[in-house]
Structure 1
Amino acid sequence: MSVSQVSNNAATGGASGGIAANDAGAMKDEFLQLMVAQINNQDPLNPLDGTQYLSQLAQLSTVEGIQNLGSLQTQGNTLMDTLQVLQSTQLVGKQVSVPVQSLSLDQAESLTGKVRLDQSAEDLRVRVTDAAGNLVQEKALGPQQAGDIPFSLDELPAGLYQFEVVAKNGDASQSLSPFLNRTVEKVSIPANGGDIQLQVAGLGNLSLFSVSEFLGEAA
């Protein structure tokens, strides 16, 4: 095998002489051995070009560096995943803010949350309906500027409810989902990978990344 063949194998990930395809370090060692052998056995009247050796050696060093960088990146990703899992387990018993369209209450409860407006509204209302579609509560928040507008709802009995925010400007109206403050009951780590799942009171399992805000201890 020639020196150039060793260099090409390293660059393309091929295997040679029993050396693993991704083992750039071993290929580099073989390259040096071949280079020394060729120098020792070169024709004195037609010496080999040393510049070519140095160029190929630099190429192998680059491949080896990329391989090492990939290994470090994999280790870093594993560490980040582990830290994320550890931090997520500390969310049990804490409150989070999540967008809600429907909510199941096991017992009577007063609710708090916020409305997130991208633009101002002349009239803003939070509407709550039961499973049959009957309006059970409406919270008038009046005219509001763009931003986060907090609200609280009177106590609702146990049951299934639908939530809607209606923002009006003149004859035009916009329907939005409110963000409610709910408690994390359990954290699940999927066995096959994927997003960490939070079991949130009244909402079931949600992806960690669906949470809008982490609020701390439940009131």
Structure 2
Amino acid sequence: MSAISGLGAGNTTANNNTIAPNGATSAEGLSTMFLDLLVAQISHQNPLDPMDGTQYVSQLAEFANVESLQSLKIDSGKNLELQASQQALQATALIGKQVDVAADTILLEQAAPVKGAVNLGVEAQSVTVRLYNAQGQLMEQQELPFTGVGTLRFAFEQQEAGGYYVQADANINGKPQPLTTLLSGEVERVSVGSNKDDIILQVNGLGNHALLDTNQLAFGGNS
């Protein structure tokens, strides 16, 4: 009975070693498990009909592949976690910076300019940007200087506190085409969403936006 108890205790220790800190079976644990199974297989084989040695070699080769894949999976998981941590750390450096986000409405808590940009994928004869207040009244209209395909920035000077709507369109081959507007705002805080890779920027007057949806740092840096 004592021999059986000792064997059971040894197996418990071996099994505990097969679990990695992240809950997955570690490569070292797989190796121990395989060797235990291989020893048990050899010990209990039929001496009148022993296994062919090539079968052991085949099993070792298959195990080596499994062990390599498991190690690769664990290393990849660690690298992804490290990248996510570094990305979150870099995102905190955006606090206090001006960024461009895809938006067409902005809420000014106090008097301030309304700035942003539009991206042109093809050449246009002209680009027009209009600023409306919350009541739909046209406050200002600008014809942007055209330099070809690329980013054109605009700025409506000091506006009173309140809500505003920005609309832009390009005249392409004689036809008006609506453009997606990017509005500029200061990053007030950075948080991580339900997914560790989901980093959210709270932009003043523009709400919450995913870091990956942030177009670029707005010209001018700090506000």
Structure 1-normalised TM-score?
A: 0.80
The residue correspondences of 1:131-210 to structure 2 (distance < 5 A) are 131-141=134-144, 143-190=146-193, 193=196, 195-210=198-213
The alpha-carbon deviation at position 80 of structure 1 amounts to 1.4
1:63 maps to 66
1:30 to 36, 47, 50: 36
Equivalent residues of 2:185, 2:204 under 8 A apart: yes
The alpha-carbon deviation at position 217 of structure 1 amounts to 3.4
Aligned residue identity for 2:192:
I
Q: CA RMSD in A?
A: 2.5
Structure 2-normalised TM-score?
A: 0.78
Question: Deviation string for 1:12-31 (max 9, x for gaps)?
Answer: xxxxxx95794522331123
Aligned residue identity for 1:33:
V
Structure 2 distance, partners of 1:192, 1:148, is 32
The alpha-carbon deviation at position 34 of structure 1 amounts to 3.2
Q: Which runs of 4+ in 1 moved over 6 A?
A: none
Structure 1: runs of 5 or more not aligned: 1-17
Structure 2 distance, partners of 1:177, 1:155, is 23
Structure 1 distance, partners of 2:172, 2:76, is 51
Equivalent residues of 1:122, 1:144 under 8 A apart: no
* SS at 1:180 equivalent: strand
The alpha-carbon deviation at position 47 of structure 1 amounts to 5.6
Question: Deviation string for 1:107-146 (max 9, x for gaps)?
Answer: 1112332221111111211101111111001011255522
Structure 1 distance, partners of 2:173, 2:93, is 46
Structure 1 distance, partners of 2:194, 2:174, is 51
Structure 2: runs of 5 or more not aligned: 1-13, 20-24
The residue correspondences of 1:94-109 to structure 2 (distance < 5 A) are 94-109=97-112
Structure 1 distance, partners of 2:137, 2:155, is 20
1:130 to 123, 130, 133: 133
2:221 maps to 217
Equivalent pairs counted in the alignment come to 199
* SS at 2:64 equivalent: helix
* SS at 1:121 equivalent: coil
Structure 1 distance, partners of 2:47, 2:158, is 93
Shift in CA distance, 80/169, structure 1 to aligned 2, threshold 3 Å: closer
